[in-house]
Structure 1
Amino acid sequence: MLQTHPGAALINCEDCQQFVYDLQTGRRVTVRQGPERQETPQRRLPGMPLQCGSCAKGSPAEAPQWELSAKNWKAYRLWREVRATYGRCVSPAMARDSIIRRNLAAIDDVVRRYQRT
């Protein structure tokens, strides 16, 4: 989902039920309010429909299957750093760690499969 719908992947469903989001960017929609016209997040008004029909996650009940755990986020961030630095950010101990190598290879496989389609 991070590759196909990066904005939606960043949105927490519980927060989306309270605020309006831009599903493309993953950011809250803002409105200018008050005499100073300060930008504030647009709250979802009572009766305002949720955006679940347009969201790649489908619904709050389906969202957990698309969300990464804290460990998976950490692995994904490391993969991005490794890719951006051509592996120079990896210490010799990390390079020898079979779990890190396996996780980075798995993420790379998923991304390459997506890029081919």
Structure 2
Amino acid sequence: MTSLEQLAALPAQLQELSQRMLQMEWRLLAYVESVNDEVDTHEALKITGIKSRDTLIKERDRPGSLIKYSKHGRSVSYSRKSCIDYKLSRRLNQYSPAPMRLIS
């Protein structure tokens, strides 16, 4: 059993935890922005999980694609952050798993 003092301390602990989570989120966003460099096609394939260069080209040219790229003459470079965003967007239930329903 929990004591009344422990129950009374829960709102303050929750507030502290919420503040710490916000700080972690800010740090993570700052880190992601700091590593947003450009990568070559080989590295973009590894990050996105796409297997072939042709598929990567089709995906980057698709309207509304998350993959950002730039051309420098004949060479192409990709935004590391956009490749990571693409990979995360392809995962099922990445942020909140759907609640399971029990059929009786």
TM-score normalised to the size of structure 1?
Answer: 0.25
Structure having the higher Rg:
2
Structure in which a larger fraction of residues adopt helix: 2
